[in-house]
Chain A
């Protein structure tokens, strides 16, 4: 008996140790083309007031290790690309931008400590979150308290911008994206009965809340609802239930890894309902992993690859050129965060107040990959078009762009 008690403890210990295994290892500043360790300015500057000479440091964090590392890498690559393009074009009124990057490993606690590091030891001017909703929510209060502007590139949880007046968002707020999803299902697909599958984290739950709030108004009937965990590989029992419920549409929140598994298993099991996803699906990885099973899947997202905007096409081609792979939504959003921040610093200077003033004055901004950005609301959310894309012939293509202010205004 005693032996078993000890073993049970050992198992518990093992689980504990394994779950903490990839210990927070702060990744040294990156190998960005620009110098990573600029010599410390002689006069120690305050966080909000950098020296006029020397590069302007902006902080960046994203998951470069752990299960969400692929997205973190895309975001980081795109931010580097934006910095390079800006510096090639003369920087911020002559001063070059310098990106200081850390790995948050997809963990909220690590994101918070990385935020402190960016503020205290790197003394950045402003920061960009290239991370998921959980870590971004943890980092936002740190920047807010330090009186520093933080832009959330693609984390869409509503609470992030509610932290305070220094936190701005680039991506489409979850409420809005969920609403657009419901609009699409009701108006474009003319569906009635919807099954909802929610990934059980900040991202999924907030999207589903937005979807459900609007679904009632547009006359959708929600006949099935279930949650699943991040990293789920076996949707088969859920698919059996959805088949029995027989909906017209499955609104399934998730990221491309879960999504590719879901659509493949749904196809295997003979589920006929149209699957509607969101920006989490928006990666060439989704099509690569799901193959032909991804055909016909419709998603709401920020990146419209068929856009005529010059900057969108420039981003897509430059990214492909620099990294020899296709860009995704996460990357486009991080790229845009750098673009917006650079614009704010060009017009308002590099103080926090100057940046905030410039962001609030932003009007019809087109120097971005997922634009045009019309303006910021009082709650620091962007008013912007929301795109929807359909997978056709192994690539994402425009399905419908939503610009109706009644739907897209946060």
Chain B
């Protein structure tokens, strides 16, 4: 019972890591920038989603008798709104900041990114936005069923996270592999100058890249907000470094590697907490895994040599 349950819980945790880390991987793939402010986009996504949810829900209530249905509908409206706003935010971050720091020392982009992350968090903490308190995001499972088997149980919210993650991953896969702009991204991530020389509009590719990656981060923010029933200004703190562990673990710039690394990390964390008890805090486990892996396989799980 316990092992299967832990595994299924770990897969849900992995889904949230995947959604946060893919955007970072995509940004690193092309720009070679460590985009710390991505975690700020994630927290902003949760904030926008919650705002939209709270705004829309009263309008849904009079038409729908059942409060549960109203809240489900409000969630499905709030999710795309949060994703689009996060996507635009990401694109703006590129257009206003990284466009100017790109090509200079990576430290400049990194410092700009850290500064931006702090700014976003401090703004979110203002009383007219989120305020200092945690806010509930009571969307529950948004209409998803509960799955019960003799070995494990998946709550409706967990089903929701797995479902949304799978759909978004499928969309990203199609865009990256089946569209011109996706092929342009692949070309630009190999060699931006060469790609530009053969007619790829690198700026378009990068803007789209930021838009897509930030959209996923926004979705992650919403899903985690609902999963924990808690949205707060500093919720990006842990993802700000853990997502990097995932990205480096997966092999910098590799999307499939990021997915594998997320699963490896989530499963390791869950089982370490379950079986090694109080040995070390769970965030330390992430770095331990990273250090061990880099010692034996410096290019990451699926990185290019």
Contacts and interface: CB of A to CB of B under 8 A. Distances in A.
Interface of A: 1, 4, 7-8, 10-11, 13-15, 17-19, 21-22, 64-67, 69-70, 72-73, 200, 225-229, 231-234, 236-238, 240-241, 243-244, 257, 260-261, 264, 268-270, 285, 288-291
Contacts of B114: 14, 17-18, 21
A228 B271 CA distance: 14
A137 B96 CA distance: 44
Interface stretch (B131-139, B177-185, B205-213): B131-139
A64 B233 CA distance: 13
Interface of B: 2, 5-6, 9, 13, 34, 36, 106-107, 110-111, 114, 117-118, 121-122, 125, 132-134, 136, 138, 153, 155, 224, 228-230, 232, 234, 237-238, 240-241, 244-245, 248, 252, 270-271, 273-274, 277-278, 281-283, 294, 298-299
Contacts of B134: 70, 257, 285, 289
A18 B133 CA distance: 21
Nearest to B230: A289
Nearest to A261: B228
| Main SS at interface, chain A | helix
Contacts of A229: 281-283
List of 8 A-B pairs having minimum Cβ-Cβ separation, nearest first: A69-B132, A237-B274, A227-B278, A229-B281, A70-B133, A237-B273, A236-B9, A21-B118
18 contacts: A10-B34, A10-B110, A17-B114, A18-B117, A18-B241, A22-B121, A67-B234, A67-B237, A70-B134, A226-B278, A228-B278, A229-B283, A236-B5, A237-B6, A241-B274, A243-B2, A261-B230, A289-B230
A232 B277 CA distance: 14
Contacts of B271: 237
Contacts of A22: 118, 121-122
A400 B270 CA distance: 38
Given A234-B282, A243-B2, 16 more contacts: A1-B298, A17-B110, A18-B114, A18-B117, A66-B234, A70-B132, A226-B277, A228-B278, A229-B281, A237-B271, A257-B230, A268-B155, A288-B136, A289-B134, A289-B229, A291-B229
Contacts of A260: 229-230
Nearest to A240: B2
A374 B134 CA distance: 36
B6 A13 contact: no
Contacts of B281: 200, 228-229
A79 B59 CA distance: 40
Contacts of A290: 229
Given A11-B244, A14-B244, A231 B238 contact: yes
Contacts of A17: 36, 110-111, 114
A10 B110 CA distance: 8
| Interface residue SS majority, chain B | helix
A14 B13 contact: no
A288 to B, nearest CB: 6
Given A7-B248, A70-B134, A237 B9 contact: yes
A8 B248 contact: yes
Given A237-B270, A260-B230, A264-B229, A73 B132 contact: yes
Contacts of A237: 6, 9, 270-271, 273-274
B230 A11 contact: no
Contacts of A241: 2, 274
Nearest to B282: A229
A1 B303 CA distance: 12
A4 B132 contact: no
Contacts of B229: 260-261, 264, 289-291
Nearest to B39: A18
Nearest to A231: B238
Contacts of A18: 36, 114, 117, 237, 240-241
Contacts of B238: 231
Contacts of A200: 278, 281
Nearest to A10: B34
